[in-house]
Structure 1
Amino acid sequence: MKALFIGGTGIISSGITRALAENADWELTILNRGKRAMEVPENVRVWTGDIDNREAVEKLLEGQFFDVVADFIAFTPEQVKRDLGYFRGKCGQYFFIGTGSAYQKPLMSPVITESTPLKNPYWQYSRDKIACEELLMAENRSSGFPVTIVRPAHVYYERMMPFAIGGDTEFWQVICRMRQGKPVIVPGDGTSLWTLTHNQDFAKGFIGLMGNIHAVGEVVQITTDEVLTWNQIYRLSAQALGVEARLVHISSDFLIACDPSLEGPLLGDKSVSVMFDNSKLKRLVPGFHAEIRYDQGVRRTADYVLSHPEVQIPNPEFDQWCDDVIEAHSLGMQSFIARHPRKYL
């Protein structure tokens, strides 16, 4: 069977690419800009190009048919409309990568199924993903376009340690703070529940849906069943680094006041307790279960990151921001206590 991935070397997609490269049932082609060419397995065909270059892409697709097309870098309705133009009649199944952050905020219940309403007033990223899903499902109903929507929720891998703040881009600076004995910021009181899925586990669920006729026209979330608090996540991460975490708990509202761009990632996502029900995935992919506990996965990440200087990207501005926020929070508490000393004798 033939598959085409748009992207294929990111946090979510790289695990699937590696797994398919070892799967004799699949012949994989990836289309991307070639910035991570060294990370692509040798037996995966690479088309180097820009998905937005219509003339070049249509030339590549001429005479081609893929059993599966998966776009890992489609984020807006305009990009989905572009894909519909490319892949109508050229694929047996089209995968759109949604997001667990699309579910309603605040949640009516922390247990999330695929039928949980979609609504996120805090994050444009999530609203765009919702709009993409609506467009694709309407296309499925009107023309039979063979779409499968998958919803991941905070996937991590060996090149990135996941944190509530700075997990994707400034994670190395958080690691540095931990190793230097400096305090690290945890939103809220650290007891909200969260789910972290290793990309190898996500890949198993995803591949089980590829070419699966029962998944066409369906929405399926793919996560681990393991649920942790943010306090546990930070402490397990520190243990993997061989240090003890110094946690400073600061409310999400305070953090957003210090950096408004955090409103979506916090109020629209990571400060909300979530537990994902994977019953639908397990019905569609019998035998699926996530195998990598976070304490195991984060040790792999720590070993990789500490031994690969190319992923150790310092961010002194983020480091200073953390220091400034922690100082402002501490001064605020001290000021209040000074004005009301009798309560704190």
Structure 2
Amino acid sequence: MKVLLIGGTGTISSAVAARAVSEGFEVFLLNRGTRGDRVCPGATVFQADIQSDEERVAELLKEHQFDIVADFIAFVPEQLERDVRLFAGKVTQFFFISSASAYQKPLGSYLITESTPLSNPLWEYSRNKIACENYLMEEYRKHGFPCTIVRPSHTYDERYLPVAVHGKKGSWQVIDRILKGKPVLVHGDGSSLWTLTHAEDFARAFCGLMGNPAAVGNTFHITSDESLPWDQIYDRIGSALGMSVQKYHVSTDFLAHCDPEFLGTLAGDKSHSVVFDNTKVKRLVPGYAARIRFDEGARRCVRYLLETPRAQVSDPEFDAFCDRVIACQEGARSAFFSSITR
């Protein structure tokens, strides 16, 4: 089968590319060519910026028909309107990568299935993904556009250590604080459940859906069945480092007041307990189960970070943010107890 991955070098898409090649798919990537070190051996690259040059993409692909196209970098409906223009009548199955953050917040039930309502008033990213899904399903119902929607949850690989509270430059500064014995911020009381899925596990299920006619017109999430409290997630990172993690709990509301970016990523996502029912994808991909527990995944991430200097990107702005938040909370605590002893 002939497969085109739009993107193909990100955390999820590079794992899908590698898995697809290993399973014998003929794999093509469409991207800007800026991350050549992450191109999967065995894949062919079409170099173009689909976000800004639709005409060039159309010219590059005009002689090609694909069994499968998967867009990993579409975030708003206008980008999918472009995809429909490019691929309608030229593809047997089109995948859109949505997000499990689209499920309703707060949840009506702790157990999430694909029929859980989509509604996230707290995060624009999620609302845009919902709008994308609605557009594609309308295209399927009205015109037969052969879409399959996949909702990943928090998916990671060795190059992306999953933490909840971090700065714009990634997770290294959190690791640096742990290594230096400094407290790290954990939202809430650390007891809410979270599901982390290694990209290799995601790719096994995703490739099982590729070329599967029963998946067309359908929606799936693909996650691990392991749900851990955030405190345990940080403890497993600490164990991988051989360090004890000083976890400093701060309410999500306070963090979002201090930095509005956290309104979406925490209040609209990571502060809610999530447990996923993967029955639907397992019906179509018999034998699928996530195999990489987070203790093993954390060891892989930590090993990569410690052995790869270019991944050790310092973030002094975030480091200072952590110190200020902790100082403010400690100051409030002191002020409260001073007020009742007067």
* Mapped partners of 1:41, 1:224: distance in 2: 24
In 2, are the aligned partners of 1:3 and 1:28 still within 8 Å (CA)?
yes
2:84 partner letter: L
Q: Report matched runs for 1:267-286 at 5 Å.
A: 267-286=267-286
Deviation at 1:167? 7.6
- Aligned AA (2:285): V
Contact 1:170–1:318 (Cα < 8 Å) also in 2: no
Describe the shift of the 1:232–1:181 C-alpha distance in structure 2 as closer, same or farther (beyond 3 A): same
Matched residue SS, 1:12: helix
Contact persistence 2:12–2:202 (CA under 8 A): yes
CA distance in 2, matches of 1:132, 1:311: 33
**Given the alignment of the two structures, is residue 193 of structure 1 paired with residue 188 of structure 2, yes or no?**
no
Unaligned residue ranges in structure 1 (runs of 5+): none
- Superposed, which structure 2 residues align to 1:116-155 within 5 Å? 116-155=116-155
SS of the residue 1:286 aligns to: coil
Q: Deviations over 1:231-261 (max 9, x none)?
A: 0000101111111100000000110111011
Residue 161 of structure 2: aligned partner: 161
* 8 Å Cα contact 2:195-2:274 kept in structure 1: yes
Determine the structure 2 residue equivalent to 1:339: 339
Shift of 1:43: 1.3
User: Any conservation in 2 of the 1:70–1:94 contact (CA below 8 Å)?
Assistant: yes
Q: 1:168 to 1:196 in 2, by over 3 A?
A: farther
- The separation in 1 between residues aligned to 2:149 and 2:136, in whole angstroms, is 9
Counterpart of 1:318 in structure 2 is 318
Q: Is the 8 A contact 2:172 2:314 kept in 1?
A: yes
On the 8 A contact 1:103/1:120 being kept in 2, the answer is: yes
Report the CA distance between 1:168 and its aligned residue.
Answer: 7.4
Provide the secondary structure at the position in 2 that maps to 1:20.
helix
Partner of 1:36: 35
Identity of aligned residues (%): 53
- 8 Å CA contact 2:71–2:96 kept in 1: the answer is yes
Deviation sequence 1:261-318 (CA, Å, 0-9, x none): 1100011100000100000010011110000000011101111111111111111111
C-alpha distance in structure 2 between counterparts of 1:293 and 1:300, whole Å: 11
For the residues of structure 1 that align with 2:34 and 2:63, how far apart are their CA atoms? 27
Q: Which runs of 5+ in 2 are unaligned?
A: none
Asked if the contact 1:162–1:168 (Cα under 8 Å) also holds between the matched residues in 2, the reply is no
Q: Which amino acid aligns with 1:98?
A: S
Matched AA of 2:173:
Q
**Aligned counterparts of 2:167 and 2:317: Cα–Cα separation in 1:** 15
For residues 74 and 130 of structure 1, the distance between their equivalents in structure 2, rounded to whole angstroms, comes to 12
Give the C-alpha shift of residue 84 in structure 1: 0.7
Amino acid paired to 2:247 = L
Kept in 1: contact 2:167–2:315 (CA 8 A):
no
CA distance in 1, matches of 2:135, 2:106: 24
Matches of 1:3 and 1:170, distance apart in 2: 31
Output the aligned Cα RMSD: 1.1
Equivalences for 1:53-132 in 2 at 5 Å?
Answer: 53-132=53-132
1:42 deviates by: 2.7
Letter in 2 for 1:254: F
Deviation above 3 Å: which 4+ runs of structure 1?
none
SS at match of 1:67: strand
Indicate the SS of the match to 2:150: strand
Instruction: Determine helix, strand or coil for the equivalent of 2:92.
Output: coil
Equivalent position SS for 1:64: coil
Aligned length: 341
Q: Secondary structure at the match of 1:19?
A: helix
- The residue number in structure 1 matching 2:240 is 240
The alignment's TM-score, normalised by the length of structure 2, stands at 0.98
